Amino acid sequence: MKTVLITGATSGIGRACARIFAKNSFKVIICGRREDRLSELQDELSQRTEVHSLLFDVSDKQSVTAAIASLPPIFSNIDVLVNNAGNAHGLDPIQNGSLDDWDAMIDINVKGLLYVSKAVIPGMVDRKKGHIINIGSIAGKEVYANGNVYCATKHAVDALTKSMLIDLNPFGIKVGAIHPGMVETEFSEVRFKGDTDRAANVYKGLTPLSPEDVADTIHFVVSRPYHINISDLVILPTDQASATVVNRK
Ligand code: NDP
Ligand code: 8X3
């Protein structure tokens, strides 16, 4: 039975991933900062598989290292790492951007992904196998007005994915990124700091991806035979052609 570790499993894409991997007989390690959500999800998934919860902030390197080191032996050989935790904070032109928002995005989306990877990779290197999936974004392939720092963090995820693929190639480790377009999750609520009306407007008049659509694709990527590595995949709603071209009814 394989083990998957998913960051940001308390909501959206990460939670949908936890559910699909549990359904497909993976042992699942679910991570996030919201304890109530982790324990609710652990109760739900424990009906299907073995589940372990890790409560930590990906941007706190000591907590990341301690959490991964605390894994009990039956969960410690991680076969698949889904680096999903992340968010956009704010949508402002560069001249008006908040330093706190910038710090949060860089610390979580980039440094957090690195801290978790750094803690998980040595085991994969020792075992000469493993699969790392980084969740990028269409914002990592293109930039759009006011997206500045969020786009920069997702471009960094794209660059780090390509670098990891090269560095880990001698060890037989698969690395790839999934870059979604618009997915209706708590993402826009977080970006707009709890303004649910503004968040709902983002998806008005179009059919966005659901978190389950993205999780299903991630599971497809992970379930290919070991000699196949899908290294870069963009997934958009049919109503979206690029970061800025959207067909709203
Ligand atoms: P959600 O807001 O629904 O979920 C974000 C998840 O990240 C939560 O589980 C949250 O858990 C976790 N998280 C955020 N900050 C931290 C932190 N500091 N430490 C640990 N966990 C953290 O958004 P999505 O599901 O949409 O986002 C998941 C990923 O997908 C992100 O990387 C996002 O950039 C990317 N993405 C999203 C798109 C979209 O349109 N929704 C499109 C393209 C990419 P908790 O708060 O409990 O810590
Ligand atoms: C989230 C999608 O277009 O809001 O990464 O940047 S977008």
**183 lies in some domain:** yes
Cα of 5 from ligand 1 centre, angstroms: 15
Going by C-beta distance under 8 Å and a sequence separation of 6 or more, which residues neighbour residue 168? Answer: 121, 124, 125, 132, 175
**185 lies in some domain:** yes
pTM for the model stands at 0.99
Q: What is the distance in angstroms between the CA of the first residue and the CA of the last residue of the chain?
A: 45
Distances (CA, A) of 16 to 69, 183, 222: 25, 12, 15
CA atoms within 13 A on the CB side of 79: 13
Give the pLDDT of the chain (249 residues) as one tens digit per residue.
Answer: 999 999 999 999 999 999 999 999 999 999 999 999 999 999 999 999 999 999 999 999 999 999 999 999 999 999 999 999 999 999 999 999 999 999 999 999 999 999 999 999 999 999 999 999 999 999 999 999 999 999 999 999 999 999 999 999 999 999 999 999 999 999 999 999 999 999 999 999 999 999 999 999 999 999 999 999 999 999 999 999 999 999 999
Cα of 68 from ligand 2 centre, angstroms: 29
**246 lies in some domain:** no
**245 lies in some domain:** no
What domain range is 199 assigned to? 3-235
**81 lies in some domain:** yes
Number of domains in the chain: 1
**226 lies in some domain:** yes
Contact (CB, 8 A) for 212 and 20: yes
**13 lies in some domain:** yes
**40 lies in some domain:** yes
CATH of the domain at 161: 3.40.50.720
Three-state SS at 112: helix
The one catalytic residue in 115, 150, 203, 226 is 150
CA distance 70 to 75: 10
